[in-house]
Each structure stands twice: as C-alpha cells, then as structure tokens.
Amino acid sequence: MKLFKLLALIVLLFATGSSHSQEVEKEERVPGHYNNNPFKQLYEEFSTPNQYRSASGAPGPAYYQQQADYVMDIELDDKNKKLMGYETITYTNNSPDVLDYLWVQLDQNMRARDSKTPLIQSSGAAPADMAGNFVNQYMGEGFDGGFNIQEVKDTDGKNLEYTINRTMMRIELPKSMKPGDQFEFSIRWWYNINDHVNKRGRSGYEEFEDGNRAYVIAQFFPRMAVYNDVEGWQNSQFWGRDEFALVFGDYEVNITVPADHILDGTGELQNRKEVFSKEMIKRYEQAIKSYEEPVVIVTQDEADEASKGFLNSKKTWKFKAKNVRDYAFATSRRFIWDMMAVKLGSRDVMAVSMYPKEGNPLWEDWSTKVVASTLISYSRMTFDYPYPKAISVHAKNQGMEYPMICWNYGRPDADGTYSDRVKYGMFGVVIHEIGHNYFPMIINSDERQWTWMDEGINTFVQYIAEQDFGEKYPEAITPNKKYPSRRGPAKNIVGYMSGDQSQIAPIMTKGLNTYNFGANGYSKPGTGLNILRETIMGRELFDYSFKTYANRWIFKHPSPEDFFRTMEDASAMDLDWFWRGWFYTTNVVDIGVQDVKKYYVTSKMNQQVKNMMSARGIKESDLPPLVYLVEEGSEDFEESMRTSTLDDVTTLQEYIMDNLSPEERTNLKKPSFFYEVTFEKVGKLPMPIIVEYTYGDGSSERITYPVQIWKTSDKSVGKVIASDKEITKIVVDPDEETADVDTSNNSWPKRKKLGQFDSFKKDKVKN
Amino acid sequence: MKSNLKTIIFCLLIFIFFSGFVAHKFYVSTTKVEYVKERKSIQIISKIFVEDLEQVLQERYSSRVQLDSKRETELDQNYLIEYVLQKLKFKVNGNDAPLIYIGKEYDIDILHIYLEIEEVEELESINIENKILLDLFPEQQNIIHFSNEKNNRNLILDKNRPNGLLNFN
C-alpha cells in the first residue's frame, strides 16, 4: 500500500510539472531537428585541438612561430616628401614545413596608381566637389604612393626572382627552406609620402602653415607576412581599412632625417649623445627619475626656434628593438617632447609624448600622464609592460597603434580652449592606442581576420583603464565623478544590438565584411567581456582566466579558440553558450517578468488535484498527507486564506510534529507568502536572470538565477518564491547589466519611470 | 570650410580609411518618439553625433559654427534649431504637426534634442520624416523608436526612404 501511495504521488506530481505541455495537443507529427539548444557545445564551430594548439587554449607542445629580423637604413627626403630604405631581412623557418617561396607585404601599394582599393568602394555622384578633388578623381592620374622596389637580392648580391600581386610580393627561394633553416635577403625601395590629413591614412605627414611637416611613418617598409599552423601564408590583401598580421623579430634601424628634426620610434635609442643636445641629456636624466610629473625634453620655444631653420644637414637616429612585430617612427621640427618614468614591478619604463604646439595645452597637461596610467592598468590586467617605453604622438585626426609608439588625435581650438568632446576623445584614444601595445602588439593576434581579438579585447581593457584614470586624476574628469566611458557599460550597446538585423554581422566575421565596423569590432566584443567579468563570471574568475590567456600568449600568435578555451579552462565555467550567442550570432537579450501569481497554502485538496485524481482513478485515501497551493482568485480560494498561516495547515503541522525534533522545529522558516513568478525570454540569447524582489516593508533582496535556468526551456521559466513578507515589486536586471534590448517588460507591476523627457522638461521649467 | 567639404567628400567617395580607433565611425542618429496619451503629448528625443551636426551646420550656414564649446553662440544655437526643425517633420493623423523645441543637452559627443507635439487627443497614425544629416552623409541612417502604451515600433530612415508611416488602427 505504501508503494502504491508513493507511485500515485509520483504520477500526480509529475503530472503537475508537465501540465503545460498537456494543453497543446499536436495533430501533425513534427519533423525532427538538429540540436538547436543555445547551450549546445561548440565542437562544430571550433577547429579540433592539435599538437600546435591544445584543447586547454594554451600553445601545444609543437607550437611554433616564424621569426623575421630586420636591419634597416631609412632616409627621409623632407623637401621632396620621399622615404627611402634599404633593409636586410633574416627569416627563420621554425615551422615543420618546407617553404619554396616567401611572401612579403607591400602595404604602400594600396596607394599605387593601379591600386584596386578605389575600385571596391561603392560611390555615388556627389552634388558638389572641390575643383582640385575633381581633377584628382576624374581628370588626373592620381597620387603615386606605391612602393618602388629597386632591388631584391640575396647575400651574394644575386637578384632574387619576385612577383608582385598588388600589396603582396612573392620571393622565390633559390633553395627550399627546410625546418630550422635561415634565409637572408635584402630589399631596396622608396615611395612618395602622402598627406595623411587631407588624403587620409595612417602613415604620412601633416603640413603646417609655416611649411613644416610632422611625419608619422608606419607600414612603410616591405614586411614579412605571417606563416603559421592556422592559415599557412596569411596572404589576404591590404585594402586600406583592415589591419595587420605580422611576425616577431629583432630590429636594428637607423633613420636619417634633417638635423633639426626631433624623432622617436620603436626601440631603444642607441646614440643618444649624438642626437641629443647637452641640455636635452640633462633633462632626460631628470625624466628617468620623475615618477609623478613629466619632464619636458624639448620645449615649445625650442620647437618654435627649430621650425625656422629648415637645415640641409642630416642626423641619424639609431634604434634597436627586441621582439617586436613592427616598426614605426615620428619626426618633425615642430615636436615638443616630454617624458616620465613609470614603475612596473621591478622595472622602470618611460611614458613619452611628442606633439606640435597645436596640441597644447591639452597635450602637455595630460598625454604622458594618460600613457603612464594606462600602462599600470594594463599591466595589472595582464603582465608588466615588457618594452622600455610607450610613446603617444599627436596626429591631427587619427588614432593608430604600433609597437611602443602610437598616433592620437585631440586638438584644441586655435585659442587653446577645448570642449569635453575633444578632451575625452583624446583621453580615450591615448588609452586605447597605448593599450594596443598588449593587443595585438605583444599578444599578437591576426588583425586582418579577427578585428575583435585586438580591438574588442583592447576596448574592454580600455574601459577598465579609463575608470582607473578617472579615479587617479579626478581633476581631469571633473565635474564627472566617474570617467564617462562610451564603450564598456552593457546598456551602451543596446542601440546597436537592437538595430536592423540586416546591418549587423556576428562578431566572428572577417573585419572587412562587417557593416558597423566600430560597433561590431570594438563595442560589442568589449562590452561582452565586461558583461562576462561583472555579471557572468565575477571579477575573480574572469581576471584570473584573462591573465592566463595573456600570459599563455605573450609574444605568440593566438587564434579565437585559444581565447575562448582558455577562459573556460582557467575558470571551470562552460561559456560555450556565451561565445555562441554573443560572438557567433547576432541574437539579443530580452528577458522579462511575464506573470506573477500569488498562492496560499492549505491542507484542503484543491480542484485541480481533484480533477487529476479522478481522471486517473485515484482516491484521496490512496495519497499520503499533502499540502496544497491555491491561487489567489481561483475557485478554491477563500478570503480566510489571506489571514491563515502555515500553522493552520494541519497536514503540514502533523508532518512537522511527527518528523522533526523540537530544536529542528524552532529553526524552521515560516513563509506566509507564496508566489509563482514566470520569467519570459523573448530574445534568443540566454543570460542569468538577475532579479530584485522588493517587499512590503520596503526592504529588497537580489537573487541571480544562473543562466543554466534556461537549459531546457528557451521561452519561459517559472520560479516559486516562498517569503515571510509580501512582494510588492519585481525587477529583472535592475542595474541594466545584461544588454537587455527592451526593458519595458522588466518590471512587475509594470512601472513607468519618470522618463528622460519628463525629467529634462521639469528641470527646464524649474530653471 | 572648403577643406572640410573636400575631406568629407574624399572620405566618402574615394577611400575610406579607418584607424585603430574609431570615434563613432558609423553614421546613425536615433530618435525616440513616445505618445503619452494622458498628457495628449508626443515626446521626442533625438540623439545625434555632435561632430556630424557641427560639420553640416558649417557647410550650410557658416564655417564659424561651433557646438559644445565655450564659443557656441546664440546664433549657432539658432542655426541648429532651424536645421533640425527643417529636417525633422511630423504628420499626426494625416495633418502637419508643429514641433515645439524644448531644449538640448550635450552628452560629451552626442547631442540630445528635446521636442514635443502637444494636443494630440488620439493617435491613429504618425508619419515621420527625418532628413537630418542626409544632406551630408549618403550612408546616414536615422532610426526612429516609437512607443505608446501598447506598441513598440521601429523605423529606419535613410536617403532612399527618408519618411515612414505608422498606423495604429
């Protein structure tokens, strides 16, 4: 008999749990389907782990990377705006493969007369055009800014056979390179430097009214393409917008410029005594011991004075850089130069800024301090900055990054005043570009394929560094209390994610093929990582895993899976659902409160159970003592239930008296309010349900239901809440931390906040 | 002013170069339109990138226009209001509906403009035309988020389709 009772009970309870599915009787057989569960593991999307890349996300036992060492002599012809170079590349084949040819990148060919870049830009007829521009576009031959390759030779001085396919050059090897082989060859080249302000671009010059130019020079020399286990030769052409994939190596670079120029670039200066004045040396000695305030090495007056000279004589600046993937430099007579030291672990590195006076007073006040603060923040999140210096160079309207040096915008008006827009634009871009030293300069991902791996991850750490900077220098952001970061907070991405789906690409899309490049490559991945850190994983687990990723891939080439796998491997969290939803699809988050029902507890059998029992032929005497829930307003509901307590439920009291010790009884909770809350998931992307329950006495509590609550139910889930206080309000995602695209269903009872419009109008009337 | 136009046209039609950092890089404005029946009011908040707006005002009116700096003048504000009211038009239940300018505020690089349509007893249909910045950026998208107590509707307006009609019957 006892067994029968138990079985009857199981039948009954089971029936209650699935009462929803009984209501819908399907007439036709539904066809089968693949696994469409949002928690499906990513075995199909990820490549299979192998000897090169382990399933843990770490480099595998056979991981390799190629090496390209450069010795270069560069000369700037300031008068003719030409750059000439002679470089010797020593290429080491660390791969297990035999190579028959090498690929070299010729990025400047994007500016050649026969460049195909203009041909892929869709164009419309402009209603008006500048005459000069019109000539350039429709009547002239266009600017000739491509590489002139004068010679490609081996060490014996013999010409090497080569083929140029637009921005890529294939060099035939006289003898195949076996694993471990080295091959040395040289290239002599020159090209015309473009105006990066008026003709746009990342490398080039800005011309000032006094005839001087400020050069910011990058992707200026033929550079080795990457050969690796994922792509073979990374030979995707350079179209202009996409960035780079580059090999690590050691550089020795001698740069000859007019003698009155001030120059800085990637690497450590080898001949300071030859290129610095005695006064500059003295100031430099102060700078390397100044940890709080920058020391000016070249003053504005000195730069003004130098700008008048236009010397014909030349000076050569000599640098050495170890383990960098690229080289860049900036040079001008107009540069003001300041530096300060930053202590990172046991090492000192230099935070450096170079700017024409047009950047002041903003630049002399803040650039170097922003650099220093950024290095500290990024070092905390990853590893101590391994290079000797980081330079922020003022360039009129662009931001772009290279190892140890970057170009940043932010120019005050001519009278030296500037708006918040200019100020925060400058802070943000300096933090961002200095941060790129980590992603992708040191954690060297393939930018051409995966924009998010450098831009997105960097935007995430940028957010942390911005907040740090605001805390360290409150006077810089006053009257704001917190640094007003554009990218990072979840609610700032809602506009993009809730937009027109035809204009949104998954993050896991090659950079060149995305629609809203900024939102797709920067904001959405950056915000996603911030949500992971703050809401899904918590700072401790996230930071440990993120640091593990950074340290596993320092001075190496990670792929997307290496990041995804490491984050799971180091945290013991299955995040496949998040990678799938946030990175591989364009799904959105929209979770809300669908329904709230109030229940009372009684020992009297309710109608629903009676119906179920009679349908199954079960008698009341067949059942063990049960406790029944009656919904407020249902046919079994009686007004007296409102005031009754659990003490009035005889079945319950009998059970307690028979089974619990007096001590256990005193420890029992006595909830008197019972609710069934149904949460709906309108968006396809799962998220933990963060709920704030507010009670009749004004107190509130937060409960976070882990994301796995959605594991078998993609549309809605119910939760029974037993409480000793009445619930007056339920809010889902009260701090807007999950990027919920529609918050109108987030509250029960439906509540209208005083909107932005009303509060603005109210303030307006008051004033 | 000249070099500005040149830069813009060059940017748009010839090469689009992007750098490692984007200020905003995609040309979008969003306008929130909410019908509040109990107040017979249509409340409108338009959010537009300051940089873009400053450029268009410089092109149309004067190269001296400056927004959101200490040098923003009353004349600059008037240009701004004139431009917005010229480019943003509403028809309520089939009739032209005048917009009342409430005010504006800057959120660093984004301008919020507050507008209102009063005395709307019933809302059967609303036609919204938003040509803001379409005269400068061919790829500009002006997104409308409409809501009343029952509906949330979106419109994406651009050069090819600068206005859209929402019916509520």
pLDDT of residue A350: 98
Cβ separation of A240 and B15 shorter than 8 Å? yes
CB-based contact B43 A522, cutoff 8 Å: no
Quick check: is B152 in a domain?
A: yes
Banded pLDDT at A391 (limits 50, 70, 90): very high
- The answer to whether residue A507 is domain-embedded is no
Confidence bin at A136 (pLDDT 50/70/90): low
Instruction: Give domain status of residue B2, yes or no.
Output: no
CA distance A428 to A422: 10
The answer to whether residue A244 neighbours chain B at the CB level (below 8 Å) is: no
Of A117, A417, A517, the CB nearest to B69: A417
What pLDDT score does A755 carry? 79
Provide the number of structural domains found in chain A: 2
Range of lowest pLDDT (A126-135, A447-456, B160-169): A126-135
Q: How far is CA A77 from CA A81, A83, A191, in A?
A: 6, 6, 10
Do A463 and A530 form a contact (C-beta atoms < 8 A)? yes
Residue A615 has pLDDT above 90, yes or no: no
What is the pLDDT averaged over residues B81-102?
Answer: 96
Does residue B92 belong to any structural domain of this protein? yes
- Judge: A198–B152 Cβ closer than 8 Å, yes or no: no
Position A448 pLDDT exceeds 70: yes
How do strand A249-258 and strand A67-77 relate by DSSP bridges? parallel
Closest-CA residue in chain B for A413?
B69
pLDDT tens-digit readout, A249-271: 999 999 999 999 999 999 999 99
pLDDT at residue number A18:
43
- A570 assigned to some structural domain: no
pLDDT bracket for residue A679 (50, 70, 90): very high
- A135 — contact with chain B (CB < 8 Å)? no
Residues 49-68 of B with CB under 8 A from A: 50-51, 66, 68
Tally of CA atoms within 13 A in the half-sphere of A701 that contains its CB: 10
- Which pLDDT score is estimated for A642? 84
Question: How remote is the C-alpha of A714 from its chain's centroid?
Answer: 28
| pLDDT digit string, tens, across residues A567-599 | 999 999 999 999 999 999 999 999 999 999 999
Q: How many domains does chain B have?
A: 1
In a domain, B119, yes or no: yes
Q: Is residue A199 part of a domain?
A: yes
Domain closes at, from A449, A474, A508: A449
Using the beta-carbon criterion (under 8 Å), do B20 and A240 form an inter-chain contact? no
Q: Do A445 and A593 lie in a common domain?
A: no
Cα angle, residue B163 at apex, residues B160 and B169 outer, rounded to 5° = 135
> Do the domain assignments include residue B60?
yes
Contact A558, A450 (CB under 8 A): no
- Tell me the residue range of the domain where A87 lies: 67-120+135-449
The reported pTM is: 0.89
The predicted structure's pLDDT at residue A465: 98
Is B8 among the domain residues?
no
Contact list in B for residue A399 (CB cut-off 8 A) is: 19-21
Q: CA-CA distances (angstroms) from residue A65 to A46, A62, A95, A236?
A: 21, 10, 7, 19
The pLDDT value given to residue B11: 35
Separation CA A454–CA A432 (nearest Å): 11
CB A13 within 8 A of CB A623: no
CB of A501 within 8 Å of a chain B CB? The answer is no
Task: Tell me if chain B has a CB within 8 Å of the CB of A764.
Answer: yes
Residue-wise pLDDT tens digits, A198-251? 877 889 999 999 999 999 999 999 999 999 999 999 989 998 778 899 999 999
Residue listed under structure tokens 């950024």: A374
Query: Mean per-residue pLDDT for A717-735?
Result: 95
In a domain, B127, yes or no: yes
Residue A632 belongs to a domain: yes
Question: Which pLDDT belongs to residue B9?
Answer: 35
Q: ipTM value of the model?
A: 0.81
Measured in angstroms, the CA of B97 and the nearest CA of chain A are apart by 19
With an 8 Å Cβ cutoff, are B17 and A495 in contact?
Answer: no
Q: Is A129 on the interface with B (CB under 8 A)?
A: yes
Identify the residue among A419, A462, A588, A761 best suited for mutation to test binding to B, counting B beta carbons within 10 A and taking the highest.
A419
pLDDT range class, residue A8, cuts 50, 70, 90: low
pLDDT value at residue B5 = 40
Complete DSSP assignment for A518-583: IIIIIIHHHHHHHHIIIIIS-HHHHHHHHHHHHHHSTTB---HHHHHHHHHHTTT---HHHIIIII
- DSSP element (H, E) containing A680: strand A673-681
Give strand pairing partners of A631. A599
Print the domain residue range for B78.
26-167
pLDDT above 90 for A672: no
Closest residue of chain B to A401, computed from CA coordinates: B20
What is the side-by-side order of every strand in the sheet holding A249-258? A148-154, A182-192, A82-92, A67-77, A249-258, A314-324, A268-269
Mean pLDDT for the stretch of residues A65-70: 98
| Closest Cβ opposite residue B30 in set A130, A495, A515 | A495
> Within a domain: residue B19?
no
Average predicted confidence (pLDDT) for chain B: 84
> Can you tell me the mean pLDDT for A176-187?
98
Place of tokens 């029936």: A15
Inter-helix orientation angle A607-616/A2-17, to 10°: 120
Check residue B4 and give its pLDDT.
44
Last residue of a domain, one of A417, A449, A481: A449
Q: How confident is the model at residue A117 (pLDDT cuts 50, 70, 90)?
A: confident
Interval A315-332 mean pLDDT: 98
B8 — contact with chain A (CB < 8 Å)?
A: no
Task: Enumerate the residues of chain A whose CB falls inside 8 A of the CB of residue B9.
Answer: 126, 128-130, 133
Asked if the structure places residue A206 within a domain, the reply is yes
A 681-700 residues with CB < 8 A to B: none
The residue among A430, A449, A468 that closes a domain is: A449
Arithmetic mean of pLDDT, A711-717? 92
- H/E element holding A623? none
The model's confidence at residue B1, banded by pLDDT at 50, 70 and 90, is very low
pLDDT over 50 at B2, yes or no: no
> Do the beta carbons of residue A588 and residue A685 sit within 8 Å?
yes
On the question of pLDDT at A23 being above 60, the answer is no
Taking Cα atoms as reference points, which of A680, A683, A682 lies closest to residue A691? Answer: A680
Residue A301 domain flag: yes
Indicate whether A19 pLDDT > 50. no
Question: Residue A245 domain-assigned?
Answer: yes
Other C-beta atoms closer than 10 Å to the C-beta of A368 total 29
Using a CB-CB distance cutoff of 8 angstroms, which residues of chain B are in contact with residue A522? 22
Q: What is the pLDDT of residues A357-373, one digit of tens each?
A: 999 999 999 999 999 99
* Helix (H) or strand (E) segment spanning residue B60: helix B50-60
Is the CB of A417 inside 8 Å of chain B's CB atoms? yes
Among all residues of chain A, which has the CA nearest to that of B143? A499
Q: For residue B138, what pLDDT band results from cuts at 50, 70 and 90?
A: confident
A138 touches chain B (CB under 8 A): no
Nearest CA to CA, how far is B93 from chain A (Å)?
Answer: 23
Contacts of residue A297, Cβ cutoff 8 Å, sequence gap at least 6: A280, A283, A284, A287, A337, A338, A339
Residues 76..135 of B with a Cβ closer than 8 Å to A: which? 102-103, 105-109, 112, 114, 116
Residues in A closer than 8 angstroms to B23, CB to CB, are 425
Mean pLDDT, chain A, integer: 92
CATH code, domain with A97? 2.60.40.1730
- pLDDT tens digit sequence for A542-564: 999 999 999 999 999 999 999 99
Which tokens is A3 given?
Answer: 């067994």
Question: For A454, which residue in chain B has the nearest alpha carbon?
Answer: B20
- Closest CB to A433 among B9, B20, B25: B20
pLDDT in tens, B3-37: 444 443 333 333 333 344 444 456 889 899 999 99
Cβ contact, residue pair B3, A400, below 8 Å: no
* Cα gap A735→A733, rounded to integer Å: 6
Is A278 domain-assigned? yes
